[in-house]
Structure 1
Amino acid sequence: MNETVRTSLFVAGAVLSLIAAQVTSRGVTKPPAEFSQVGTPFYPDFVDADAAKSLQVVNYNPETASLRIFGVEQGSDGVWRIPSRNNYPVDGKERLGKTATSIIGIKKEALAGPRKSQHIEFGVLDPLSESVSDYQGVGNRVTLKDGKDGKVLADLIIGKEVKGRSGFFYVRNPSEDQTYIAKVSIDVSTKFADWIEPDLLKLDGSKLRYINIEKHSVEFGQDGGGSLAGKESNQLTRTSATDKWKLDGLDDATEEVNEDEVRKLVQALDDLKIVGVRPKNEKLKKRLQDDQGLALDDRTRREMEEIGFFFVRMPDRKGMAMISQEGDLAAVTEQGVAYELHFGSVFSGTEEEVEAGFINKGEEKSDANGKEAENKEKNDEADAKTDARKIKSRYLFAQAQFDPSALGPKPEAPVRPEAPAEAAAANEDTPADAAAAENVGEKPDPKKAYEEALAKYDIDLKKYEADVKAYEEKVKTGEKLVKDLNRRFADWYYVISGDSFENLRQGRKTLVKPKSTPENAAGQSSPAGNVDAQDAPDSQDASAN
């Protein structure tokens, strides 16, 4: 082999070695960045749940073809509120803490897919994206921010559950295309009632002693004047929780209280839930907070008449009386708390509209992500789907007063006995007294009788002092309960469900039933019959202008 051939072979070998080395190095490729993140948290810097000062949840309701945007946030005053629900205060702060904690623990368990085209398949389309056309494949977006500069602590779109893997979902960061599989155990409710104290009255039904239902309806004529139709009044009383309720005006010979319906009434008061709120104007709020009563300025009058509360001047021309669209209910507890519930107009709307009123969805969505709302065609489609799902509810104006008479009679001080006169004690018995003393075998001793009466007085005095202290404590407790309730009631008109309204606004037709007799039990007819007071011809009219 000559030198030229040998040199050529060495060069060829070197080239082949170099190519082999390059091929080998290319075989050990670095994994894509999305694979390298598997096993890491979505937001590794978010480690303190208390840092979260606002939460927003956005989901899509396929039944109504609409977005539901719900959030809570802490204001500068430290109070947590729901911005999209008229800034109503939140009682569910612990729920936010649990949500934040559960998001901290979410890790990227596996890569589901790196491409944007897979988002519909995984159900992780951004519900706030203006590129979404029919909301098919959208997920639930959960965003947590701090309270300093609105910095995002976590922002995730949670999609469909992975088939065959309970508790695992497709999850995506809205700013990234890749979708991961993650174990998710977040219970983020967008229901208004889950974030507030829904028990409006904080009333214990066993403590109720008096209920008065003033039932009527305001009807307006073509001239704009109003009158009361179906007017009736029903008063129920009992002296203790174990006593049966008594109804005034009951014909004991033929009628009895319908205990099942009264039980519904008491339960409705005990468990009366808020389903929506509307704010009162600032002037009215201030007056009610200061216990100054209603301020009947033009704005307040218009505001209240729009939801079914009207005012008429009293016959003496010295004041105004409020007339509610659908009557009133007064309920008094043994604690001296007298609740006044006034029923206004009916309100029909979607669940979201019942909670906060008619919200402009376009404005709400624009506020949420800085983008314009969906086009008119899409909104019309949503309206068509929701019209059939309107929820009927009722406006409620609530107040409370303290009624000391409900506490029972005030303790009366015992009378100290008078000491017998010495002269009288020293006098001899009269013949009649002597005869009496001879009959009983001993002479009456005024001094001893006085000492016994005095000892009894001392015992009665101590009991009286203890009773007075207990009574004063009841007064103090009752007054505080009323004050706390009115502070809560002052800022809001409430909305209650249609079912709650029907259970509260009962009349004689439901509260009374024919008295049970042996003949009734045997299936024979009873001479008793129900009287529907709404059909009575003596309904009273009142102006409601």
Structure 2
Amino acid sequence: MTESGKTGVFWLVASVVVALAAIVAWPRSTETDLAGLIGKPIFEKFNDVLDVSMLKIDRFDEELGQLSSFEVTRDSKTNQWSIPSHDGYPADATEQIRDAATAFLNLEILDVASEVKDDHEKFGVLEPNATSLKVGDEGVGRLVQFENDNGDVLVNLIIGSKVKDSEDQRFVRIPTQDVTYVVKFDDTPLTTKFDSWIEDNLLDLSSFDIEKIGIRDYSIVRTLQGASMQPNFDADILLAENDTWQLEKLDVYEKGKPVAQTLADDQELDGTKLGELRSALDDLKIVDVRRKPDGLSGDLKADAGFMKNDDAVRSLIARGFYPQPTEDGKGEVFAANGELIATLKNGVEYLLRFGEIDQQSMDSPEESEDGSDEDVTGVNRYLLVTARVNEATFPEPELQAVPETWEQLHPEVEAAQPPKTDQPAEPAKSEEAEKPAADESESAPKPEAEKAEEPAKPDADADADSESDADEAEASEEEPEGCEAPSDDEEASDEAEPTLLLQDDSDDEAEEPAADAAEEKPADDAKPAAAAEAEEKPAAKPELTAEEKQEELEVAQEGIRKANQRKLDERNDQLEEARKKVRSLNERFADWYYVVPESEYRKIHLSRDELIKKKGTEPEGAAGAGAGPGVPGLPGGQGFPGIPGLPGN
């Protein structure tokens, strides 16, 4: 081929190459493709919120130049949610995850704001990346990711600024693309506030179940020698049935020794403060947690091995909790700012220990909500919580004694029987014979005694009777026995009148002894009454045979034993229920230091001046000088020996 031919071919190939390069390098028109995305979901393959097993939100604090990450994950085996970004604290996230994932389900593109990378800062969709960002960088969005159990990414989106003049529209961007979209989006479920993802009832109690509050107000301060305890006062306050507070005990410490005190005539408990305390326990808020060191049990008992672990002990002391050995070989933990005891009606008792201020939560970035900056940006304090059973709530029931004999079953029958003696039975005596000898000595002979029971007659009648007796005696001498009554002529004569009077008197006398005899002699009419009285008495019981008595005794014994057992079972069931509740609570509390806002701490930590006020005065917010209760076994001013990391140890 000639040189000219070769040159022509070369230019032809070059032209083709240039043309192809021009075609490749020519800017593509994406307007048609992007326009086709409007109205379509950003994540077409994400269609089931139940597939989500992990949520991660990355945020950048522009002022501090720090990147924070909040994560919630679900265990595929237990199906339980936890928060890895907070040491794996259990999360109440089922509904929260569902709401957050639903916000991305069928999330439609409303518009395309920009295709240029340089616009990312303007729309607030810069990716939060610790390696590429520095203090003062602006326009950084929130990166939200959802994954399933296999680790597949379901959602990956940067949430930017709000669209101007539109409260419900946001700029968003997929991290691997430069295009910025406009979507209608509610980001409320995407909060990174810790307390929004956990069980909001930390203590799991109702204020209506609280029946007693115990304040053990003391303080522990570090000294050159180590640490020293200063007890202030102990108080036990009972909530009566009429919903009023009653002071059961008030011990004020003087030179380290408790001195019992009572309310003065012009003093009373501050019901408003106590009511606020009661409500605060019902709705106790926590803003963060820290995991406790290993070796510390749920009831805050520390074994000997724990006390030798310097790192573990320092972990407690740094947060305001001081472990001390006890006689039983286990350690006890005391708090820098005292304790509070809340007793419920079901016998469950909560012990809250108040530690020091948490500096870490003050320095870390935290999302705040409108009007709630005080709760998340203020001072926070450490809190330890344990539960225990108040055994006094379950006294032993009063049980009925089980009779061992039939007579013990029927003590009324035994009491009605005559006393048993070893003397042989004597013949039955009459009532007169059974009368005490004293009666016989005091009474006249029987005929006179019978007459003595008659009403006393006037003296005139007695004289008349004596005269009649004398005349009658003369007449009896003159007339033979058995003579007939006087004739009618004799009756009509005046001389016979006295005889008639005597006859009448003698007739009356003859009738009166008969009446007395009727009273003394057991009449036939009295027999039914005596028999009825005998029937009323348990006299029929002895008529039972020995076998019948034994059968009745065994039936009664079985009934009493069952009734006693029911009382015991009821008491034991209630006690076991309380123990079960305590075990469950301590499993939840065992691993954690809780961090509460200072505002919550002040509601549940009352000084003596806040607890007691003058009658008729409104509650004041004075801090008060009185502080708290003493700790058993640790008098005021006593040091804490053997604490590593403290001066003097």
TM-score range (shorter-chain normalised) is 0.7 to 0.9
Aligned residues of 1:339 and 1:398 also touching (Cα < 8 A): yes
Pairwise CA distance, 1:226: 2.2
Pairwise CA distance, 1:505: 2.1
The amino acid across from 1:511 in the alignment is: L
Pairwise CA distance, 1:346: 1.7
Q: 1:138 aligns with which of 121, 137, 140?
A: 140
What's 1:256 paired with?
268
Distance 1:240 1:458 in 2: 38
**Deviation per CA, 1:170-202, whole angstroms, max 9, x where unpaired?**
221111111122121342111000111132211
1:463 to 1:120, Cα distance in 2 relative to 1, 3 A: same
What's 1:267 paired with?
279
The amino acid across from 2:637 in the alignment is: D
The amino acid across from 2:208 in the alignment is: S
What's 1:445 paired with?
537
SS at match of 2:202: coil
1:319 to 1:463, Cα distance in 2 relative to 1, 3 A: closer
Aligned residues of 2:303 and 2:331 also touching (Cα < 8 A): no
SS at match of 1:278: strand
Distance 1:345 1:219 in 2: 11
Pairwise CA distance, 1:38: 1.9
Q: 2:344 aligns with which of 330, 333, 339?
A: 333
SS at match of 1:544: coil
SS at match of 1:104: coil
What's 2:315 paired with?
303
The amino acid across from 2:571 in the alignment is: Y
SS at match of 1:248: strand
Instruction: Return the TM-score normalized by structure 2.
Output: 0.62
The amino acid across from 2:315 in the alignment is: E
Pairwise CA distance, 1:411: 2.4
SS at match of 1:98: helix
Q: How does 1:226-265 map to 2 (within 5 A)?
A: 226-229=227-230, 231-240=232-241, 242-249=243-250, 250-265=262-277
Pairwise CA distance, 1:484: 0.2
1:239 to 1:457, Cα distance in 2 relative to 1, 3 A: farther
**Deviation per CA, 1:507-539, whole angstroms, max 9, x where unpaired?**
3211111234xxx89xxxxxxxx9954599xx8
The reply to whether residue 491 of structure 1 matches residue 622 of structure 2 is: no
The reply to whether residue 192 of structure 1 matches residue 284 of structure 2 is: no
Instruction: Return the TM-score normalized by structure 1.
Output: 0.73
Aligned residues of 1:54 and 1:146 also touching (Cα < 8 A): yes
SS at match of 1:106: coil
**Deviation per CA, 1:58-110, whole angstroms, max 9, x where unpaired?**
23456766444211122454432212211212111221122122212101122
1:162 to 1:509, Cα distance in 2 relative to 1, 3 A: same
What's 2:614 paired with?
514
Distance 2:414 2:229 in 1: 74
What's 1:411 paired with?
397
SS at match of 1:153: strand
1:403 to 1:293, Cα distance in 2 relative to 1, 3 A: farther
Pairwise CA distance, 1:213: 1.3
1:63 to 1:257, Cα distance in 2 relative to 1, 3 A: farther
Pairwise CA distance, 1:475: 1.5
1:86 to 1:498, Cα distance in 2 relative to 1, 3 A: same
Pairwise CA distance, 1:543: 0.9
Distance 2:414 2:384 in 1: 70
Distance 2:624 2:92 in 1: 45
Q: How does 1:449-460 map to 2 (within 5 A)?
A: none
Q: Identify which range, 62-71 or 269-278, moves more after superposition.
A: 62-71
Pairwise CA distance, 1:339: 1.4
Uncovered stretches (5+) of structure 1, i.e. residues with no partner: 1-28, 356-385, 433-437, 522-529
What percentage of aligned pairs have identical amino acids? 26
Pairwise CA distance, 1:481: 0.7
Uncovered stretches (5+) of structure 2, i.e. residues with no partner: 1-28, 251-261, 367-372, 419-427, 437-528, 543-548, 630-634, 642-649
1:395 to 1:424, Cα distance in 2 relative to 1, 3 A: closer
Pairwise CA distance, 1:456: 12
Distance 1:168 1:277 in 2: 35
What's 2:294 paired with?
282
What's 2:57 paired with?
57
Computed over aligned residues only, the root mean square deviation of the Cα atoms, in angstroms, reads 4.1
The amino acid across from 1:311 in the alignment is: P
The reply to whether residue 45 of structure 1 matches residue 137 of structure 2 is: no
Q: How does 1:376-395 map to 2 (within 5 A)?
A: 391-395=378-382
**Deviation per CA, 1:283-317, whole angstroms, max 9, x where unpaired?**
33xx5499886842324322222222223455x69
SS at match of 1:47: coil
Distance 1:339 1:85 in 2: 24
What's 2:169 paired with?
168
SS at match of 1:486: helix
SS at match of 2:129: coil
Aligned residues of 2:303 and 2:330 also touching (Cα < 8 A): no
What's 1:25 paired with?
none
The amino acid across from 1:396 in the alignment is: L
Q: What is the total number of aligned residue pairs between the two structures?
A: 460
The amino acid across from 1:405 in the alignment is: A
What's 2:203 paired with?
201
Aligned residues of 1:354 and 1:391 also touching (Cα < 8 A): no
What's 1:89 paired with?
90
SS at match of 2:95: helix
Distance 1:460 1:343 in 2: 50
Aligned residues of 1:312 and 1:544 also touching (Cα < 8 A): yes
